[in-house]
A and B are shown apart, each in its own frame.
Chain A
């Protein structure tokens, strides 16, 4: 079990880092925001692996869900400036 969780951790880590780099360097802003949401999602899975289920739930809901929603909400109102 533990080797499986270690392997899963490594995979998640790589995925998170990849998503993070995508968020920073992605050419279009919606992609970047979604990538950031993805980082949060992977993080919440990692929290589960680190024996913190409540944190995982909170991170998934707030970090992933709410934050991404807020981003798109504002993005809708600043159309025209995101490529500045």
Chain B
């Protein structure tokens, strides 16, 4: 299961980047990046998964003493939570850029933003 998720994650990254780098519309590029971010998150979580083990939440069914032997690696989950939030932050920032650029240029076509070059 982890391998399938891993593979899916990588494929999502590829699809996301492919979309981001071939689409000319800014919004579509951001959509592509969102998908790639999801892919990265999936990869991280998939790495942490260990077969046959359960979620790292200590409650009545999982006392603290038995935890190390029965839970999956909790660290990637912590990482992914941070990564999700950072991802949404950057997405919001990019959307703000799209808005400002549309206001300034009246277009969302990235191939027109080439005044600065060489």
Contacts and interface: CB of A to CB of B under 8 A. Distances in A.
A3 to B, nearest CB: 10
A58 B99 contact: no
The size class of the interface chain A forms with chain B is 35 or more
Interface of B: 1-2, 4-5, 7-8, 11-12, 15-16, 18-19, 23-28, 30-32, 34-35, 37-38, 41-42, 45-46, 48-49, 53-57, 72, 77, 80-81, 84-85, 87-88, 91-92, 95-96, 98-99, 102, 106-109
23 contacts: A10-B4, A13-B7, A16-B12, A24-B18, A29-B28, A32-B28, A39-B35, A43-B41, A46-B8, A46-B42, A47-B45, A50-B5, A50-B49, A52-B48, A54-B57, A55-B80, A58-B84, A59-B41, A71-B30, A74-B27, A74-B96, A81-B108, A84-B107
Interface of A: 2, 5-6, 9-10, 13, 16-17, 20-21, 23-25, 29, 32-33, 36, 39-40, 43, 46-47, 49-55, 58-59, 62-63, 66-67, 70-71, 73-75, 77-78, 80-84
Looking at chain A's contact residues, is the secondary structure mostly helix, strand, loop, or mixed?
helix
